[in-house]
Structure 1
Amino acid sequence: MNYYDRAKELAEQTVAHRRYMHTNAEAGLDLPKTKAYVMEQLRSFGIEPKDCGYGVTATLGKGGKVLLLRADMDALPMGEESGEEFACPTGKTAHTCGHDFHAAMLLTAARMLKENEDELEGTVKLMFQPAEETFEGSKNMIENGILQNPPVDAALAYHVSAGKMPVGLYMYNSKDTMMFSVDGFKITLTGKGSHGAYPHAGVDPINIGAHVHLALQELIARESDPTHSCVLTVGKFQAGTVGNIIPETAVLEGTIRTNKPESRELLVRRMKEVAERVAAVYGGSAEVEMLSEVPPLICNPELTEEFVGYMEGMGIPGLTGYPGISASASEDFAVIAEQIPSTFMYLSAGYLDERGEAPAHNPKVKFNEDVCPIGSSCLAHCATEWLKNNK
């Protein structure tokens, strides 16, 4: 089967899938409408889906090696200002990262693979994942056996990218870290409340928090390897309700991101030590809770170059590779890539005019639906070719 030709024939259906999920955007782990829609569509293709934690899985083919095709499908908890006629009307959720595309393209790829199932020389496993934005989804599905029964040998995922760039560009990294780790943390500082007129009678957690914040910055300035990329951000500092009362507690929340596993280990460990010891110096205490723990996304070099070769051989007009891409954002597909050989690529869904001005996670962002047949056909073609060449 020529998957690109077939994907063009199915382009309207792919767009319809995307627009349904866009209009009915859901965020987090529990995506009842999205999940029901995906399962309904898979059944209409003759594929029997199964629950996998909060996500959906299904298999096609017969025995042999197993390739996992993954698509996240969650939105963000924000309003939408795209002006699209199919925009989510709730004002509370929006597909501003393009995950509606991922699920739609995987649905069409699944349909084509089912149509061509007799030619598959192994097994394709589908993974429709919730909660990528909160870094919970892949762990939830792993805990519920997505990499087992049957065991997965390799994995592939695409992510659409907004901005001022042409459709047809695909970006990858086969040599180094593609996306940074993310370790979200919450530091709860406990002191002793008192009247603002009698600070000596209390222990001020705001003062402790200010010193903790400053001390954390020194981890980047004085303890991180300058040849590594490291980012530590405290984006939330909450304490107190009244101006003349020293509160009992203060809370700091932030993230640590880096491109190297060894820097990640150092910074997470030292963040905890700094918080606890600075709090003790000023007479208080600190409790650290980890909100997310995602490693750097490092793609398997040989597998990535293999998929690039398959894509180059498809003859898609204007399809152009851009190697060596790296970003300080994070992606929970990294949890899968840490366990099995995996490849992650960006597909441009941008515009070269004013529609490409807003970036992802912006309420005004727009994505180009011309990417749909490219993504669907690349998923199906790469799966078919990989199974044929990896028996």
Structure 2
Amino acid sequence: MSDLLSRAKELEDYGIDIRRRIHKKPEIGFDLPETVKLVREELKSIGFEPAACRTAGITALAGKPGKTFLLRADMDALPMKEETGLPFASENGFMHACGHDMHTSALLLAARILKEREGELKGTVKLMFQPCEEGVGGALDMVNAGVLECPSVDGAMALHVLHEKSGSVGYSRGTACASSDIFTITVKGKGGHGAAPHLCVDPIHIAVHIHLALQALNSREVNPDEMLVCSICQINGGTATNVFPETAVLKGTIRTMNGKVRSFARERLVQIAEQTAGTFRGEAEVKFLHEGVPPMENNRDLLDASIGYIDVLLGEGTCKELPRMTGSEDFSIISQMVPSVLYWVGTGSEEEGYPYGVHDPRVTFNEESLHKMAAIYANTAICWLKDHS
């Protein structure tokens, strides 16, 4: 085990160079031409035969026929301007503020180790480089393209950076992350002059009442033991101070830890929006973005086994249990189909000089954690295949 970690450390400069190249040219959603090109070229240089997977995904295989273990990294950035001042900072208005550049470079570094040790593999390792995690839809796109087939995947793992002590590893048992359903409510009224409200149907007035009514979802309609968050994060309507607009738009998300609660909340959101609008002589149309993502489920057996692998690799007690997170991760789609596990790897705490968390334009990551992420990826796949050969 120490040999594998030592090898990852020896390859650290390779991983850091890849990370900085990706970081300097971030891309978002499914539009990742430069990132995809870089990943494909690196995989080929290592000795893999990368394959395209639907819109912008990439897969590659190592090992031999047998059980198959999948390692996933996401590649997309966020549509925000970077404010780090790093010498390799983005200049295109996008930013890897969620650490996906760390994920991708760590998996490429792990790929080098796996290729070097391919003869030791007691089965197949499938590498999954995924687009559009932030925008939601990337994992589903690759699943629909057959990423869990040919060969059929028996277990899966993903890593994500965390604003914690460098090299620390966290996990949650059972449901680890919330579901996410992104919605848009378009309120339709009747525009007119602000001085004559009786001749109009004010969509802003309706939108405000819909916002307030939705607060009853978690306070009055769901068991208090269940987690439910319904957040309206954007309201737009009107272009003048004295004119009622024809429409107003609300946008937000629903997050839960329970599939039944999720279905109920989606249904009630539509009912509340439509019926509240009707009360005030207007209309409301609700649209959900994609199919959303379900809660992330950590498989008990895989979690217990992989905790052991990581603690042997990095030191007893490295893995620590964390509270479940109300944020979402679309790796959850895979977790509903095959035994899966998601770990959070610390990439710098405030005490270590990293004061900002993910999705902050000033966030930076301790690159010393990168080789440990790569070692976790590679070692977990090697050990799990050995235990299930």
**TM (normalized to structure 1)?**
0.96
Q: How far did 1:198 drift?
A: 2.4
Q: How does 1:21-100 map to 2 (within 5 A)?
A: 21-53=22-54, 54-90=56-92, 92-100=93-101
Name the aligned partner's letter for residue 17 of structure 1.
I
Task: Give, in whole Å, the separation in 2 of the partners of 1:69 and 1:362.
Answer: 27
4+ residue stretches of structure 1 with deviation over 6 A? Answer: none
Q: Can you give the 5+ residue segments of structure 2 that lack an aligned partner in the other structure?
A: none
Task: Give, in whole Å, the separation in 2 of the partners of 1:140 and 1:340.
Answer: 16
Task: Give, in whole Å, the separation in 1 of the partners of 2:216 and 2:321.
Answer: 34
Is structure 2 residue 122 aligned with structure 1 residue 121? yes
- Identity across aligned pairs (percent)? 44
Task: Give, in whole Å, the separation in 2 of the partners of 1:7 and 1:284.
Answer: 61
CA 1:70–1:377 in 2, change beyond 3 Å: closer, same or farther?
A: same
Q: How far did 1:112 drift?
A: 0.9
Name the aligned partner's letter for residue 380 of structure 1.
A
1:166 — aligned with what? 165
2:347 — aligned with what? 349
Q: Secondary structure at the match of 1:232?
A: strand
Q: How far did 1:21 drift?
A: 0.4
Name the aligned partner's letter for residue 225 of structure 2.
T
Residue 168 of structure 1 contacts residue 318 of structure 1 at CA under 8 Å; is this kept in 2?
no
Residue 310 of structure 2 contacts residue 318 of structure 2 at CA under 8 Å; is this kept in 1?
no
Task: Give, in whole Å, the separation in 2 of the partners of 1:27 and 1:383.
Answer: 29
Task: Give, in whole Å, the separation in 2 of the partners of 1:319 and 1:379.
Answer: 18
Q: How far did 1:232 drift?
A: 1.1
Q: How does 1:178-257 map to 2 (within 5 A)?
A: 178-257=176-255
Q: Deviations 1:22-52 (Å, cap 9, x if unpaired)?
A: 1111111110111000000000011010111
2:309 — aligned with what? 310
Q: Can you give the 5+ residue segments of structure 1 that lack an aligned partner in the other structure?
A: none
Q: How far did 1:195 drift?
A: 2.1
Task: Give, in whole Å, the separation in 2 of the partners of 1:130 and 1:181.
Answer: 19
Name the aligned partner's letter for residue 309 of structure 1.
G
How many pairs does the alignment contain? Answer: 386
Q: How far did 1:263 drift?
A: 1.7
Name the aligned partner's letter for residue 100 of structure 2.
H
Residue 74 of structure 2 contacts residue 100 of structure 2 at CA under 8 Å; is this kept in 1?
yes
Q: Deviations 1:57-76 (Å, cap 9, x if unpaired)?
A: 11111111111100001111
Residue 32 of structure 2 contacts residue 131 of structure 2 at CA under 8 Å; is this kept in 1?
yes
CA 1:253–1:386 in 2, change beyond 3 Å: closer, same or farther?
A: same
Residue 299 of structure 1 contacts residue 342 of structure 1 at CA under 8 Å; is this kept in 2?
yes
Q: How far did 1:283 drift?
A: 1.1
Q: Secondary structure at the match of 1:213?
A: helix
Q: Secondary structure at the match of 2:343?
A: strand
- Aligned pair partner of 1:327 in 322, 325, 328: 325
Task: Give, in whole Å, the separation in 1 of the partners of 2:228 and 2:333.
Answer: 19
Q: Deviations 1:281-330 (Å, cap 9, x if unpaired)?
A: 1111111100251111111111111111111222x358611114311111
Residue 171 of structure 1 contacts residue 325 of structure 1 at CA under 8 Å; is this kept in 2?
no
Task: Give, in whole Å, the separation in 2 of the partners of 1:304 and 1:84.
Answer: 36
Q: Secondary structure at the match of 1:345?
A: strand
Q: Secondary structure at the match of 1:356?
A: coil
Task: Give, in whole Å, the separation in 2 of the partners of 1:298 and 1:43.
Answer: 33
Residue 66 of structure 1 contacts residue 154 of structure 1 at CA under 8 Å; is this kept in 2?
yes
1:134 — aligned with what? 135
Task: Give, in whole Å, the separation in 2 of the partners of 1:388 and 1:318.
Answer: 21
Task: Give, in whole Å, the separation in 1 of the partners of 2:241 and 2:194.
Answer: 8
Task: Give, in whole Å, the separation in 2 of the partners of 1:331 and 1:31.
Answer: 19
Q: How far did 1:354 drift?
A: 6.3
2:281 — aligned with what? 283
Is structure 2 residue 9 aligned with structure 1 residue 4? no
Q: Secondary structure at the match of 2:289?
A: strand
**TM (normalized to structure 2)?**
0.96
Task: Give, in whole Å, the separation in 1 of the partners of 2:77 and 2:349.
Answer: 21
